[in-house]
Amino acid sequence: QVQLVESGGGLVQAGEPLRLACAASGGTFSTYAMAWFRQAPGEGRRFVGAISRSGGNTNYADSVNGRFTISRDNVKNTVYLQMNSLKPEDTAVYYCAAGFTLWQEQVIGVSYAFWGQGTQVTVSS
């Protein structure tokens, strides 16, 4: 199975950018759709965005659409989340996830079976 490790979290001020990375090992990275989720204190884990196996298709939650961008490097086995114009309500633990898909460019209706441990993002002011 695949193992996922997030990195890049930290403390930033509102309006500033941050980039997260998720490194995959122990599996064939290019066979998985990848996604980012987040969980704030007292809330459930929520979908942030997803990217298809080849990187040709993406999907985002309304709350981050236009501010966040998912990308992937299938040579480095890494998926990224570029977060711009951060808001205090973006504060959460961010998790990456991997799932199998029937279609190469699928990003909707994916069941994510593999999860990382998460990285904390805190947005101040």
pLDDT of residue 73: 97
What lies within 8 Å, CB to CB, of 62 at 6+ separation is: none
Tokens of 116: 């990382």
In whole angstroms, how far apart are CA 48 and each of 25, 27, 51, 53, 67? 22, 23, 11, 17, 11
pLDDT along the chain (125 residues), means of 10: 96 98 95 97 96 97 97 97 98 98 95 97 96
